[in-house]
């Protein structure tokens, strides 16, 4: 048996999945090299979980091919299973077990001896800040704890390819940061990570490559920067007492705001934080209190709107 | 990039060693399943008091059957009844293994195991082994209670009693595989229960369990004679009554092996499917 090339941890070609009359995946081509985090963006029903199920050998594609760690997900499913770590949308755990027992069991099933399994479990409990809940039955643990344990469980086998299906949904901000660090760490160590999310900010923070899935098709892919450039930039919104006066003050400074008369707000595109400061400085110089101030990032909705308005199947970066 | 490729290769080597051997998988999963069973205090308590109503109700309500034609002379009804209860306990134990399996199949851990480099038959073997532990606890409780409180005696001596428990366990083991195959087919606990309920009563009552086959109406006698449970009860009963048991025991063990040889591969083949 020849060694698979180390360059392509996940590769799909013309991948199609159907459920009855519904086409859940409609010809997906994807490549994730080692040491890379790919964030797969898409709304509910876009096909993210369908793709995850195929890559993790839980479902067979209707047509097309998928290779994970160099192995075909259908013909060489067992070898794929040796190489992957999975954490799902729904905690794949036994409610009656404690976090430590769960991790020890899974690690032992990966072939480690009792002592090594306990050491690995301790390591993972520590990494995910689960130490204080280690001996508590899972049914008595919070949702966040379960999610963290699920992620830890996905890493028991030291996987070469990690597939995470909406891993941060329902996590508190601190757990989220921990997860992001772990994901970046995995990529640094040479693993390939495919992470699905509905959150563009998360993709922005983590991804080397972002791919957008809509109705079973990849409608865009590229670095977060490239994608955002297509979607539009960050914007700053103020709500001064007198919006008309404020608008004049900004225009006098060469800034063009968008006025929303219904809300009495002024919005200015601000790609850099420098431009945010410029807006505040201009208002300050005119002696105007900005009132409410908010910054908004382009969200997944904007990505969709932009992509819907534009071409349907643009792929900027392979 | 080369550094990344090297690290990836290293991870792959680590992963390659990964995946426990099948014996280890079975061992680890069995210990886990047995531990889960024993940690369920309420279930254990119920298991321990379970034979009491059966012994009371059947022992009292059916004791008049000791006078029907064909009933062995001079045998107290309780001595006739306990072997039947041992085999029906085995039947229920087999069903419980399958019910626990449907819990596992629908539980979260199973979907994780599916993505791991495992032979999923290990899950079935672990459940089967756990069923044996549970069956043993139930049989020992049943016999102990019948002995202490209901005057049951084994006329065949202690060795025959041990053999009777062993034959009952073999029946539990083999029926466990049948019900587990059904569980892998139906997937849902309630569907399984309904199907099992359908089979359970004919199996239990169209048999020699509670009264001699010869006292049954002739059409029912035909059913009872092909009912595998009849053979199991005949074997266990012959042992505890101290009668020649070898033909019945051999027939029962052969039947359990045959049934398992058919059911186990079906279960193993079905469990990987997700439908």
Please state the rounded mean pLDDT for residues B172-191.
91
Q: How far apart are CA B126 and CA B111, in angstroms?
A: 17
Half-sphere exposure in the Cβ direction for B92 (13 Å, CA): 16
Q: Which of A34, A84, A86 sits opposite B8 (nearest CB)?
A: A34
Residue A309: per-residue pLDDT = 45
Q: What's the angle, vertex CA B123, arms to CA B119 and CA B126, rounded to 5?
A: 125
Residue B135: per-residue pLDDT = 94
pLDDT band at B131 (very low <50, low <70, confident <90, very high): very high
The answer to whether the CB atoms of B18 and A111 lie below 8 A apart is: yes
* CA quadruple B24, B30, B33, B38: dihedral sign: negative
> What percentage of residues in chain B have a pLDDT greater than 90?
51
- A-chain CB neighbours of B125 within 8 Å are none
Interfacial residues of B (vs A; Cβ cutoff 8 Å): 1, 3-12, 14-21, 24-25, 28-29, 32, 36, 39-40, 107-109, 111-118, 274
The answer to whether the CB atoms of B112 and A96 lie below 8 A apart is: no
Q: Which residues contact B37 (CB under 8 A, 6 or more apart)?
A: B43, B130, B133, B134
Q: Is residue B160 over pLDDT 60? A: yes
pLDDT band at A305 (very low <50, low <70, confident <90, very high): low
Q: Is residue A143 over pLDDT 70? A: yes
The answer to whether the CB atoms of A94 and B116 lie below 8 A apart is: no
Strand partners, B241: none
Residue B74: per-residue pLDDT = 83
The distance of B185 to chain A (nearest Cα, Å) reads 18
pTM: 0.81
Q: Is residue A310 over pLDDT 50? A: no
Q: Is residue B210 over pLDDT 50? A: yes
Please state the rounded mean pLDDT for residues A122-144.
90
pLDDT digits (tens, 9 = 90+) for B22-62: 899 999 999 999 988 888 889 889 888 888 888 888 888 88
- B-chain CB neighbours of A157 within 8 Å are 15, 18, 116
Q: Is residue A42 over pLDDT 90? A: no
Which residue has better confidence, B250 or A234? Answer: B250
pLDDT digits (tens, 9 = 90+) for A145-154: 888 899 899 9
Strand partners, A26: A16
Q: Which of A33, A58, A79 sits opposite B115 (nearest CB)?
A: A58
pLDDT band at B258 (very low <50, low <70, confident <90, very high): very high
pLDDT digits (tens, 9 = 90+) for A218-230: 988 888 877 776 6
pLDDT band at B14 (very low <50, low <70, confident <90, very high): low
Q: What's the angle, vertex CA B226, arms to CA B229 and CA B153, rounded to 5?
A: 35
- B-chain CB neighbours of A96 within 8 Å are 36, 39-40
Residue A314: per-residue pLDDT = 38
Residue B16: per-residue pLDDT = 52
State the virtual CA torsion across A50, A154, A72, A197 in degrees, nearest 10.
30
Q: Is residue B89 over pLDDT 70? A: yes
Residue B8: per-residue pLDDT = 66
Residue A303: per-residue pLDDT = 62
Residue environment code for B211-226, b if the CB has 16+ CB neighbours within 10 A, otherwise e: bbbeebeeebeebbee
The answer to whether the CB atoms of B4 and A86 lie below 8 A apart is: no
pLDDT digits (tens, 9 = 90+) for B91-115: 999 998 899 899 888 888 888 899 9
A190 torsion bin: left (phi>0), alpha (psi -120 to 50), beta (else)? left
The answer to whether the CB atoms of A91 and B107 lie below 8 A apart is: no
pLDDT band at A275 (very low <50, low <70, confident <90, very high): confident
Q: Is residue A313 over pLDDT 50? A: no
């Amino acid at each position: 048996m020849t060694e698979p090339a180390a360059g392509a941890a996940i590769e799909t070609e013309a991948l199609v999945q159907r459920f009855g009359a519904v086409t859940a995946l409609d010809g997906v081509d994807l490549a994730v090299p080692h040491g890379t985090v790919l964030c797969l963006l898409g709304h509910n029903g876009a096909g993210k979980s369908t793709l995850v199920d195929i890559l993790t050998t839980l479902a067979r594609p209707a047509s097309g091919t998928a290779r994970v760690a160099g192995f075909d997900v259908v013909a060489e499913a067992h070898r794929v299973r040796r190489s992957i770590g999975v954490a799902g949308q729904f905690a794949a755990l036994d409610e009656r077990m404690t976090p430590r027992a769960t991790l020890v069991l899974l690690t032992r099933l990966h072939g480690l001896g009792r002592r090594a399994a306990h050491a690995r479990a301790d390591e993972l409990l520590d990494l995910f800040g689960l130490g204080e809940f280690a001996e508590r039955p899972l049914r008595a643990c919070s949702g966040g704890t379960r999610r963290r344990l699920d992620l830890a469980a996905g890493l028991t086998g030291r996987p070469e390819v990690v597939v995470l299906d909406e891993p941060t949904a329902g996590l508190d901000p601190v757990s989220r940061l921990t997860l992001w660090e772990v994901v970046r760490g995995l990529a640094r160590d040479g693993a390939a990570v495919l992470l699905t999310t509905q959150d563009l900010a998360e993709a922005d923070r983590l991804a080397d490559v972002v791919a957008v899935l809509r109705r079973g098709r990849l409608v865009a892919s590229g670095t977060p920067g490239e994608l955002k450039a297509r979607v539009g930039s960050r914007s700053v919104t103020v709500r001064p007492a007198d919006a008309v006066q404020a608008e004049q003050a900004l225009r006098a400074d060469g800034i063009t705001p968008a006025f929303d008369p219904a809300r009495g707000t002024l919005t200015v595109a601000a790609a850099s934080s420098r431009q945010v400061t410029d807006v505040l400085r201009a208002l300050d110089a005119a002696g105007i209190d900005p009132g409410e101030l908010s910054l908004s990032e382009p969200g997944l909705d904007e990505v969709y709107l932009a992509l819907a308005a534009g071409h349907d199947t643009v792929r900027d970066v392979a | 990039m080369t550094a990344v490729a090297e690290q990836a290769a290293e991870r792959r080597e680590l992963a390659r060693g990964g995946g426990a051997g099948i014996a280890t998988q079975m061992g680890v999963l069995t210990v886990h399943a047995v531990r889960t069973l024993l940690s369920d205090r309420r279930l254990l308590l119920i298991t321990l008091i379970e034979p009491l109503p059966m012994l009371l109700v059947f022992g009292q309500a059916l004791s008049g059957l000791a006078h029907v034609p064909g009933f062995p002379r001079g045998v107290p009804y309780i001595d006739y009844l306990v072997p039947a209860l041992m085999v029906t306990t085995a039947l229920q134990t087999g069903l419980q293994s399958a019910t626990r399996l449907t819990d596992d199949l629908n539980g979260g851990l199973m979907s994780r195991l599916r993505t791991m480099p495992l032979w999923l038959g290990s899950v079935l073997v672990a459940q089967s082994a756990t069923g044996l532990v549970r069956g043993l606890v139930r049989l020992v409780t049943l016999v102990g209670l019948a002995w202490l409180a209901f005057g049951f005696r084994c006329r065949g001596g202690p060795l025959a009693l041990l053999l009777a428990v062993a034959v009952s366990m073999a029946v539990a083991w083999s029926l466990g595989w049948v019900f587990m195959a059904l569980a892998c087919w139906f997937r849902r606990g309630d569907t399984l229960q309904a199907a099992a309920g359908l089979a359970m009563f004919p199996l239990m009552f169209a048999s020699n369990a509670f009264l001699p086959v010869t006292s049954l109406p002739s059409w029912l006698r035909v059913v009872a004679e092909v009912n595998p449970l009849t053979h199991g009860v005949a074997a266990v009963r012959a042992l505890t009554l101290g009668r020649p048991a070898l033909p019945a025991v051999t027939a029962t063990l052969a039947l359990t092996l045959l049934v398992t040889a058919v059911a186990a591969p079906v279960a193993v083949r079905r469990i990987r499917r997700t439908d």
